[in-house]
Amino acid sequence: ASNEGRQYRLGLLTGDGIGPEIVPAAVTVADAAFAAAGRPGAVEWTEFPIGHEAIRELGSPIPDSTLDGLAGTDGWLLGPHDSAAYPEPHRSRLNPSGTIRKHFDLYANIRPAKGLPGATAIAPQTDLVIVRENTQGFYADRSTYRGTGEYMPTPDVAIAMGVFTRPAIERIARTAFQLARQRRRHVTIVHKANVLQLTTGMFKAVTLEVAAEFPDVTVDDFHIDAMTVHLLRRPGDFDVIVTENMFGDILSDLTGELAGSLGIAPSINAAENVAMAQASHGAAPDIAGRGIANPTAIILSAAMLLEWLAGRHDDPVAREAARLIDSGVSAAVAAGVSTPDLGGTASTAEFAKAVVAAIQDGR
Ligand code: ATP
Ligand code: MG
């Protein structure tokens, strides 16, 4: 009953490239899903500038006012940023999503890879989730470890550091095991403990310690190199994969492509109290402004955000809205409506409209 009429304040960061096309599509679909789930107007959306727009208006691609504004929300949708095209000094600095992740300590990057019926995929039977530690490992933040994260002792020698800490491993491991309990109760730890014994060896050891708290979940582990082979040979055997930052970055591109394509791969970045929905793809400047971008990844990311809110607030209506988005996207694609990247002819707006129609018909 405490959830009756619950409202969420969600931020909207439209971003660059195809952002202005795909982000509004996700908003339309999320609003339709909450309405169909019985709570119309459940989300109060607030826009905050990032990217080129923010550089023009406020002199920074990720202004302090945007970070301050986000702090008052329950979560947000992050559109893509084309930081390679920013003028200096902005181009050399930490990009908007990196800045936001660091500011809010969004330590869990959760990337599902699941086939979409009707869309072609190398391995359509894939149904797994990568849980990637997002704050340290072999992408240890260069500004935190100033001068040592990555450095050159001489012009001919470059050194990068990996950072692994027990608290960071424990919290990402718990995220993975809790997620596994909602799925097929199987966690796979990916590391390289035979070579990187202290760093990834610690990742493996601490994750196994956390595993003892979850006796109902099956655990196995593989070296990162062997894991790529297992994923290609038998992707359907994996459920939740937990790993450090760089391994997770690489593996999630592999699993995303096994299950489908860039345009459909969603993700969230979560902390304890806040989460950010973000498509796995970039700003796609080559197709921006033509109304043909695939909004599926950001739409499914929005669904993940609603599912995360549902868990955090024990809110069945948000859970139902998330489920309606997932099934609406599947229904639209299965009915043959898709954007050109998936071989169809629908525009971004037409695809979103088909998803909304499927949600309203309860498909
Ligand atoms: P970033 O460094 O920001 O991740 P990237 O170099 O990985 O960028 P993307 O912007 O993701 O590149 O684009 C890679 C290719 O995939 C481009 O050809 C782009 O048009 C295509 N692409 C990416 N996202 C979509 C989408 N949502 N719909 C259709 N095509 C897309
Ligand atoms: Mg990319």
330 is written with which tokens?
């599947």
pLDDT tens, position by position, 14-58 = 999 999 999 999 999 999 999 999 999 999 999 999 999 999 999
| C-alpha to C-alpha distance for 212 and 74, rounded to whole angstroms | 32
Distance CA 300, CA 298 (A): 5
Percent of the chain with pLDDT over 70: 98
- The CA 281 to ligand 1 mean position distance, Å, reads 5
User: What is the value of pTM for the model shown?
Assistant: 0.94
Rounded CA separation 29/353 (Å): 8
Better pLDDT: 121 or 215: 215
* Ramachandran area for residue 106 (φ above 0: left; ψ -120 to 50: alpha; else beta): beta
* Active site (catalytic) residues: 139, 192, 225, 249, 253
Question: Which residues are 276's β-sheet partners?
Answer: 76, 269
| Ligand 1 lining (C-beta closer than 6 Å) | 18, 262-263, 281-284, 286-287, 293-294, 297, 341
Alpha carbon nearest to ligand 1 atom 25, residue: 263
| CA distance linking residue 298 with residue 295, whole number of Å | 6
- 19-36 and 316-334 helices, crossing angle to 10°: 120
Residue 203 confidence (pLDDT) above 70 = yes
At 264-284, the pLDDT tens digits run 999 999 999 999 999 999 999
C-alpha to C-alpha distance for 240 and 243, rounded to whole angstroms:
10
Q: How far is the CA of 80 from the centre of ligand 1 (A)?
A: 9
Compute the distance from residue 210 Cα to the ligand 1 centre, in Å: 37
CA 316-328-240 angle, to 5 degrees, is: 65
Taking the CA of 250 as reference, the closest ligand is 2
Complex-level ipTM: 0.95
CA-CA-CA-CA torsion sign (168, 173, 176, 181): negative
Q: How far apart are alpha carbons 57 and 6 in whole angstroms?
A: 34
- Tens of pLDDT, residues 128-161: 999 999 999 998 776 666 666 788 999 999 999 9
